[in-house]
Amino acid sequence: MSVTALARPRKGQFLLLTLGSLFTPLAVAQMSAFDPTLPTIAVTASRTPTRTDASLSAVTVLTRDAIEHSGARTLVDLLNQTPGVRIAQNGGPGASASLFLRGAEARHTLVLIDGMRIGSATLGTATLEAIPLETIERIEIVRGPASALYGSDAIGGVIQIFTRKGTEAPHRRAFVGVGSHEQYLTSVGASGGTTRFRYALDLGGEGTQGIDATTPANSNHQPDRDGWRNRFASAHLAWSLANGGEIALASFATRGRNEYDAWGSGTYNALLHKDLTSNQVTAHLPLTKEWLSTLRVGETRDTSKALASASSMSRFATAQRQLSWQNEVALPLGVLLAAFDLTATEVDATTRYTRTSRTVRGYLLGWQAEEGPHGWQLTTRYDDNTQFGGKTTGQAAYRYQFTPQWQGRVAASSAFKAPTFNQLYWPDTGFGGGNPNLKPETAYEKEVGIRWQRGVTAAELTLFDARVKNLIAGWPPENVARARIKGAELTLSNRFDAWTLRVNADWLTATDEATGKRLPRRAPAALSAALLYDAKRWQAGIDLNAQRARWDNVANTTRLDGYGRTDLWWHYALTRSWRLEAEVRNLFAQTYETAATYRQPGRTFFVGLRYRD
């Protein structure tokens, strides 16, 4: 049995989703030339190539075609269309955004770029708003605890972003577009190679003059426009080895700047600079027919510099040097996974922390297999953190194929989140400082799912119940809070002739167990739906994104009203290589906030021209 055997699709019908018998034949995916009922290969849910129809986790995969036919122009907008995601943003494009995956805290989602951790070790979150869609080849979203695979941060789940890769055939691409509020987006790229060498290079820029991001109720409000600009580049080089292996170099960088309203800044235009880089070398080495060894070495950097006034500047920089050695060994039954992960983190800031570095060593052992209608995955991991010591996590998952159409799965997993440098070492300036005695936040989750598919009609229902302990709350911070997070996720998809429809709905109850109050910014219900018509030469789509009312603060005294936003998009192929794209976002000019006293854009227009040979 080879290492890739588990990734090979079976003959016959593929199983993806559930409850499809409840709706009629007008329904599928979001994209032209993109059929969500066909299984793809994902790696994030198991760290090995696995068919999505055989996955033991709730997984969403967004391909390049899916991205281009989603109507989204930013990563934040795209992720907001996926199940289990809630996003709060302090204004329009480029403004700071917080993502809540499956009801967990914003700092409880691990974000990877090509397998490398990114994010701020001081805040504990990643700058998703700074990552441009034009550099992305695909995105994999795993919902549910994944610390048994990745260590700290993955309580809510994992979002992995894959940048563009090269192909043997030469390809060139370009895009230019303009829109409301003086928005612009430009990018150029090329890829190609030979049987032994492949390359991809993309670069571009985006920006907008923005909107007045704050309302008069905000204590920092200034009646001005808060703009955003960003420059980006990504490169990938790969060499094929004679034994079937590969050595690859990948580099990614963005440099952004957004304007914001700061307290006491007067007429000064406060600026927040955001730089994000990732550089790595990866070697895939087949040591034998049954043994694949992968070695990855690299570094990511997350830097923010705030200029709140002419005399006030703060800077926070996180560097994460990473090494991963992963081994996949084909057994007579299944695949054995063994890995060692090393992450050395350093913080350089204008704030004087008592400690500025930590090292984490992670040891992973797992087994994944299929036998007849059965499939299972067992994983355990031990992380040794120089800040607080060791932490062991585990995951056990099982699925059963009842019929060619029906599949069920169950899983139980544990996870944790290490305290941030702010929570541990923030200096006491008279209002209390960090707490170096903090313990990791921990979680335990049970999950059950059922999938159904017949032809192009598919559905999936997932129920989950999580308990989070030692939540860090208050200031000075303490491990005093506990949370209970329960919910259900339903996805429906189908296609009929030229029409496709995709529906994602989820329900969430996320409460503080001590007070019974709702966790802030988690809507109890959310709906994302997309209807597409494909006339070959042109395609058009309508997207709906809606959330119920929720609370903005822990005390549950500040209410955010529910909203429903409708977007339209249209693509027309001028020639085989040139395509005209247009969209209207927030068609009905819905007034809403995802964070209290911070506006979201009203009705906006965008038109662009894309070239792809």
* Beta bridge partner(s), residue 508: 487
In this prediction, residues 51-65 reach a mean pLDDT of 92
Cα dihedral: 54, 55, 60, 61 (round 10): -60
Question: Which pLDDT does position 39 carry in this prediction?
Answer: 65
Q: What is the DSSP letter of 130?
A: G
Model pLDDT for residues 131-148, shown as the tens digit of each residue: 999 999 999 999 999 999
Question: Where would I find the beta strands (DSSP E) of 350-429?
Answer: 357-371, 374-385, 389-401, 406-417
Strands 157-163 and 171-179: unpaired
Question: Which pLDDT does position 52 carry in this prediction?
Answer: 87
Please state which of the four CATH numbers 3.30.390.50, 1.10.287.3610, 2.40.170.20, 3.10.105.10 is assigned to the domain occupying 12-612: 2.40.170.20
Alpha carbons 589 and 606: distance in angstroms, whole number: 15
- C-alpha Rg value of the chain to the nearest Å: 23
Question: Which pLDDT does position 167 carry in this prediction?
Answer: 87
Model pLDDT for residues 431-460, shown as the tens digit of each residue: 899 999 999 999 999 999 999 999 999 999
In this prediction, residues 546-562 reach a mean pLDDT of 97
Model pLDDT for residues 498-523, shown as the tens digit of each residue: 999 999 999 999 999 999 999 999 99
In this prediction, residues 572-580 reach a mean pLDDT of 97
Q: Which of 132, 194, 135 is nearest to 164 (CA)?
A: 135
Look-up: residue for tokens 């987006």? 185
Please name the amino acid found at residue 132.
P
Question: Which pLDDT does position 430 carry in this prediction?
Answer: 82
Indicate the pTM of the whole model: 0.93
In this prediction, residues 543-564 reach a mean pLDDT of 97
Question: Which pLDDT does position 34 carry in this prediction?
Answer: 45
Model pLDDT for residues 356-373, shown as the tens digit of each residue: 999 999 999 999 999 999
In this prediction, residues 13-29 reach a mean pLDDT of 29
Model pLDDT for residues 160-204, shown as the tens digit of each residue: 999 999 988 999 999 999 999 999 999 999 999 999 999 999 999
Question: Which pLDDT does position 35 carry in this prediction?
Answer: 54
Strands 499-512 and 291-309: unpaired
**Using 50, 70 and 90 to split pLDDT, how confident is the model at 38?**
low
Contact in structure between 36 and 70 (CB atoms under 8 Å):
no
Contact in structure between 567 and 530 (CB atoms under 8 Å):
no
Q: Is the pLDDT of residue 394 over 50?
A: yes
Question: Which pLDDT does position 26 carry in this prediction?
Answer: 30
Question: Which pLDDT does position 27 carry in this prediction?
Answer: 30
Model pLDDT for residues 283-309, shown as the tens digit of each residue: 999 999 999 999 999 999 999 999 998
Q: Is the pLDDT of residue 2 over 90?
A: no
Supply the mean pLDDT for the chain: 92
Residue 494: which residues within 8 A CB-CB, separation 6 or more? 20, 23, 24, 25, 26, 27, 28, 456, 457, 458, 500, 501
Alpha carbons 246 and 242: distance in angstroms, whole number: 9
In this prediction, residues 97-122 reach a mean pLDDT of 97
